[in-house]
Amino acid sequence: MSDRNEEFIQRIAQTLREPVTLRADFDARVMAAVRTEPAPAISTARRIWNLAATPRTVHLSPIAGFALAAGLLMAVVAIGRERNVATMRTASLSAAAAQIRSDTVRLVQFVFVSQDAKSVSLVGDFNDWNKEKTPLHEGADGLWTVSIPLPNGRHQYAFMVNGERWMLDPSAPTAVENSYGTPNSVVTVSEDAL
Amino acid sequence: MSRLVSLAIAFLALTSTHATAQDPRIRDRLDRATATAVSSLIDSATRAGIPAEPLIQRALQGSIKKAPGSLIIAAVRELSVELGAAKSVLGPQSPRAELVAAASALHAGATATDLRTLRAARPRQPLTVALATLADLVSHGVPVAQATETIRVALAKGANDAEIVALRRNIERDIKAGAPPSAAAGVRARGLPAKKTGQHVQPASKDRR
């Protein structure tokens, strides 16, 4: 590839790397638009099944676990004494267990330039360092891009080329932390700066 | 009755196990001994009010880099100590992102005193970007004392996060153009305009490294 083409691609890459800013009311506007859509018809039985079958993570402290066990023991004893047919009681999950996180997020675009890569994925502390989760999409002239929402904070990441080659982002600082002998790139996301 | 007691004990054991259960990501991606040790570290950290997620991510990073278990355990322990130190300085209300950035700054060589100084310079707003920038400047070759002083001056002049990021980019550009990192940081910090009328930025204290 000529130097001119290389320069052209680098200019495109530089533009693509510019952060995309979402307005603060972006989530609210999207949710308002979603709410105006008619809800899909779901039968009551299906709804109950979905409620029962959806996995939930419930964090219990040991003392809460003990209290729950003690409660169950009391219930079992009561049932045993009365010899009645047990009535199934459904305990509702507390609101805390199903809370919706409302961290501020920003859409961040990652760009990698490679003419000969077969695949490129993004790994970092925002996707469990899982190379399957965030593949980059190949565009023209070896430009690989992906945009993902990131919460505020300092994030470490790298590109995985062809599923195995660890590559840093040349446009980003390198992390001072290097616990494993292979450095990472860093992006810092905040409400008014990227 | 004894059957009922046995049932209760079994349930209690099951519940207690769940209460301290390993994160599935840790369980699935680390060998059993490493997962157990890392989970124990995370449990201890969580009890001390340290967020678990950065520790989990540090362990998973070791997994994808195929690091040996001993190295992963050491890395998680090191981060746990740094997060704990950051929390003790920045306070229990410090958000996770700020703690992570502070841990990076400590890792880069900043001291607890440095963190207190920066907190005093910006007492009511998050220091996430400022501390992350401090670490980034060190990674670009700026000595930690100069990097800390650069951020302190920027905060004292009332720079916001966007201006601190711009400051970092300018310093990076100067370094790429051949300027010595320390000089680049010093010149750019001095060049920042003070936002408040009559504001006087104290010079660096004499007992700096």
Terminal Cα distance for chain A, rounded: 32
What mean pLDDT, rounded, does chain A reach? 72
What are the chain A neighbours of B162 within 8 Å (beta carbons)?
A: 192-193
B53-64 and B96-108 helices, crossing angle to 10°: 60
Q: What is the mean pLDDT of chain B?
A: 88
Contact B63 A129 (CB under 8 A): yes
ipTM of the prediction: 0.82
Note the pTM of the prediction, 2 decimals.
0.69
Q: Band of the pLDDT at A190, cuts 50, 70, 90?
A: confident
Q: What is the pLDDT of residues B16-51, one digit of tens each?
A: 444 457 899 999 999 999 999 999 999 999 999 999
Sign of CA dihedral A109, A113, A119, A120: negative
Confidence (pLDDT) at A48: 67
Q: How many CB atoms lie within 10 A of CB A141?
A: 14
> What pLDDT is recorded for position A86?
30
| Each residue's pLDDT tens digit, B93-151 | 999 999 999 999 999 999 999 999 999 999 989 999 999 999 999 999 999 999 999 99
Strand duo A153-161 + A165-167: pairing: antiparallel
What is the pLDDT, as a whole number, of residue B11?
Answer: 46
Q: How many residues belong to chain B?
A: 209
On whether any CB of chain A is under 8 Å from the CB of B133, the answer is yes
Residues 147-186 in B contacting A (C-alpha not used; CB under 8 Å): 160-162, 164-165, 168, 172
What mean pLDDT is predicted for residues B164-179? 95
> What DSSP string describes A139-153?
-GGGEEEEEEEEESE
- Yes or no, beta carbons of A72 and B8 under 8 Å apart: yes
CA gap B86, B65 in Å, rounded: 26
Closest in B54, B75, B129 to A180, CB measured: B75
Asked if the model's pLDDT at residue A47 lies above 90, the reply is no
Taking only the tens place, the pLDDT of each residue in A69-112 is 666 556 544 444 433 333 233 222 222 222 233 357 889 999 99
What is the arithmetic mean of pLDDT over A140-148?
A: 94
